[in-house]
């Protein structure tokens, strides 16, 4: 087995790559408006009621019509997953990993096709879509190797004593309910789903309602890779209608959720109550929101800092859990950094994500659009508007990259996750004060520090309380295996997707000791 290596990103300046991508984009654009079923026990199920997936860049354009699961479907999906668990849990880790290796190879061959659908369904720029697809490939390559390694080395880590044969195995948990968000509709869905199945669990997957088409297309890859029927059930549906039902179900062994703090806390609470007939304590694996800061010290490379802030705040219109929404700048360099960030931001162009002339695209849907605009109105009362401050073209859900200066560290826009292209600047007296401000939210996901001062970097290393801390670089763009990803406090259950311990959460260790 060759060692894991992250999937390289596509160089769109290469004419052949550009052409190959454009062809896939055209192909996808010619295949819009199709119907996509649920899949339960490998069987396709159509429903009368549909989820309509729209292109956020062109509201009028329908990407596809997805079947919409009812509670009855959710019940059938749970029963199927439980039935199939009995055989899948007993397959070898190498066999299960084999499905992931094959799925990764298929996705690699069809990389541009998937990225094209991400551009259309999620409003990602081609580079952002390419990174999403690459990350999905990485998760499969990484978790497949990790499962094999865990299986083959766990017993060797035990202390051996004479006269006994001792064996430690990581066995599956059971049926997992997997609930991903729309913002990494491929990578995060793939990560949580394939971590589950490679560990021997079976899955009921409820994708995000704004991105069901990409979920269905990935399900087809799993089938092509040889995944047996019923290992994953795909049931798009309303969180309110089937979400609680799945979480509360007595056969649910764990919930793997990535999404907002609000929904995550609800699931955490529901999952902690035992249902009649339930035999286990449900596990909650949660990756939640963020309110991420970049701190700039007085002796930092200010140009690098300004560029890092702009990329972290506005790529994909700020719709990343890791996006920078707080720029905390030490007093001496505050005006200089602010001025440069505003200048760079004013140069950003906003428009149709499929058009490479635009730097950033839309936000995901009407609900997000209205919510972000409301936050911008709040910001107008809390800071000095420097640029943006309202909608872009009305053809899609476009919002101009918005910066507020001189915002109090305790302002609403500095504390609540906005999940859009809104950045607040706040002035710190000195570096220590900057770190205090950086730690003043209930989240703890990502953060970055720009400084050339070694003792300040070391202070940040120990005091800046976030799961992913970056020095002298942007705070977005974690790579599987290289930057294991996940946050503290209200940002989640302190685990690391794409890290060496991730699969432990999807397994339970069993010890067998035999007297010789
Ligand atoms: P969301 O919480 O609105 O939805 C997430 C998922 O939960 C969706 O599939 C949704 O349909 C489902 N859902 C909604 N109500 C439910 C219910 N009652 N029961 C069960 N499921 C329910 O989040 P979103 O808008 O899809 O994603 C954006 C959020 O995700 C942001 O807060 C972002 O920070 C967070 N996020 C975190 C990470 C991370 O690694 N920490 C990564 C990506 C996104």
* pLDDT tens column, 383-402: 999 999 999 999 999 999 99
Between strands 50-55 and 58-67, the pairing is antiparallel
Q: Which residues of 216-226 are buried (b: 16+ CB within 10 A; e: fewer)?
A: bbbbebbbebe
- 307-332 pLDDT, tens digit each: 999 999 999 999 999 999 999 999 99
Choosing among 3.90.1150.10, 3.30.1280.10, 3.40.605.10, 3.90.1200.10, the CATH entry for 16-288+494-515 is 3.40.605.10
Residue ranges covered by each domain of the chain: 16-288+494-515, 292-479
φ and ψ of 52, to 5 deg: -95, 120
Residue 287 appears among annotated catalytic residues: yes
Alpha-carbon span 126 to 62, nearest angstrom: 19
Alpha-carbon span 253 to 201, nearest angstrom: 9
Which three-class secondary structure string do you get for 232-278?
Answer: EEECCCCHHHHHHHHHHCCCEEEEEEECCHHHHHHHHHHHCCCCCCC
Q: What is the model's pLDDT at position 499?
A: 98
Probe ligand 1: pick from 53, 203, 205, 260, max atoms within 8 Å of CB? 260
Distances (CA, A) of 321 to 85, 294, 312, 325: 33, 14, 11, 10
State pTM to two decimals: 0.98
Q: Which residue has the higher pLDDT, 508 or 275?
A: 508
CB-ligand 1 contact for 28 (6 Å cutoff): no
Q: Quote the ligand 1 centre to 417 CA distance (angstroms).
A: 13
Nearest to 55 by CA among 398, 321, 375, 318: 398
DSSP string, 13-57: TSHHHHHHHHHHHHHHHTTTTEEE-EEETTEEE--SSEEEEEETT
Probe ligand 1: pick from 69, 246, 259, max atoms within 8 Å of CB? 259
Q: What is the model's pLDDT at position 155?
A: 82
Residue 321 appears among annotated catalytic residues: yes
CB-ligand 1 contact for 267 (6 Å cutoff): yes
Looking at ligand 1, which atom is closest to the CA of residue 184?
43
Alpha-carbon span 306 to 339, nearest angstrom: 9
Supply the Cα-derived Rg of the chain in whole angstroms. Answer: 23
Statement: residue 268 has pLDDT above 90: yes
Domain with residues 292-479, CATH architecture: 3-Layer(aba) Sandwich (3.40)
Percent share of the chain, pLDDT over 70: 100
CB-CB neighbours of 98 under 10 Å? 18
Read off the pLDDT of each residue in 116-140 and give the average, rounded to a whole number: 98
DSSP string, 177-190: EEE--SSSTTHHHH
Q: What is the model's pLDDT at position 156?
A: 87
DSSP string, 484-502: -B--EETTBSS--BTSTTG
Among the listed residues 113, 135, 287, 417, the single catalytic one is 287
Alpha-carbon span 346 to 359, nearest angstrom: 11
Statement: residue 175 has pLDDT above 90: yes
Read off the pLDDT of each residue in 487-514 and give the average, rounded to a whole number: 97
Percent share of the chain, pLDDT over 90: 98
- Mean residue pLDDT across the chain: 97
Q: What is the model's pLDDT at position 1?
A: 86
């Amino acid at each position: 087995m060759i060692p894991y290596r992250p999937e390289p990103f596509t160089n769109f300046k290469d004419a052949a790559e550009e052409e190959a991508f454009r062809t896939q984009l055209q192909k996808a654009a010619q295949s819009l408006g199709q119907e996509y079923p649920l899949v339960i026990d490998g069987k396709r199920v159509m429903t009368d009621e549909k989820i309509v997936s729209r292109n956020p860049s062109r509201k009028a354009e329908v990407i596809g019509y997805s079947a919409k699961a009812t509670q009855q479907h959710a019940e059938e999906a749970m029963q199927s997953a439980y039935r199939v668990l009995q055989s899948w849990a007993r397959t070898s880790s190498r066999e299960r990993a084999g499905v992931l290796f094959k799925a990764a190879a298929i996705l690699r061959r069809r990389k541009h096709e998937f990225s094209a659908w991400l551009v259309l369904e999620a409003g990602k720029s081609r580079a952002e879509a390419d990174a999403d697809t690459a990350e999905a490939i990485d998760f499969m390559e990484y978790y497949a190797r990790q499962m094999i390694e865990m299986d083959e080395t766990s017993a060797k880590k035990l202390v051996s004593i004479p006269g006994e044969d001792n064996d430690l195995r990581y066995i599956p948990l059971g049926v997992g309910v997997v609930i991903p968000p729309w913002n990494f509709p491929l990578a995060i869905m793939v990560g949580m789903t394939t971590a589950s199945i490679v560990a021997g669990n079976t899955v009921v997957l409820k994708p995000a309602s704004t991105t069901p088409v990409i979920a269905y297309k990935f399900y087809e890859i799993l089938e092509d890779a040889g995944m047996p029927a019923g290992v994953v059930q795909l049931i798009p549906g309303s969180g309110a209608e089937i979400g609680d039902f799945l979480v509360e179900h007595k056969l649910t062994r764990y919930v793997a959720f990535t999404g907002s703090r609000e929904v995550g806390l609800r699931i955490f609470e529901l999952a902690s109550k035992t249902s009649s007939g339930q035999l286990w304590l449900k596990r909650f694996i949660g990756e939640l929101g963020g309110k991420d800061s970049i701190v700039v010290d007085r002796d930092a490379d200010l140009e690098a800092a300004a560029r890092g802030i702009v990329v972290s705040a506005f790529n994909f219109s700020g719709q990343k859990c890791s996006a920078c929404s707080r720029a905390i700048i030490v007093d001496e360099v505050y005006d200089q950094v602010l001025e440069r960030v505003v200048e760079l931001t004013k140069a950003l162009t906003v428009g149709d994500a499929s058009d490479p002339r635009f730097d950033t695209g839309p936000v995901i849907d009407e609900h997000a659009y209205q919510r972000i605009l409301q936050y911008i109105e709040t910001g107008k009362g809390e800071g000095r508007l420097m640029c943006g401050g309202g909608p872009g073209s009305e053809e899609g859900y476009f919002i101009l990259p918005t910066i507020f200066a001189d915002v109090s560290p305790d302002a609403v826009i500095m504390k609540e996750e906005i999940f859009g292209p809104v950045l607040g600047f706040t002035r710190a007296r000195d570096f220590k004060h900057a770190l205090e401000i950086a730690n003043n939210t209930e989240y703890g996901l990502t953060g970055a520090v720009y400084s050339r001062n070694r003792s300040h970097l070391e202070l940040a290393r120990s005091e800046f309380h976030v799961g992913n801390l970056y020095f002298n670089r942007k705070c977005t763009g974690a790579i599987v295996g290289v930057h294991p990803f996940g946050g503290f406090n209200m940002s989640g259950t302190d685990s690391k997707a794409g890290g060496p311990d991730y699969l432990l959460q999807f397994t339970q260790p069993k010890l067998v000791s035999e007297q010789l």
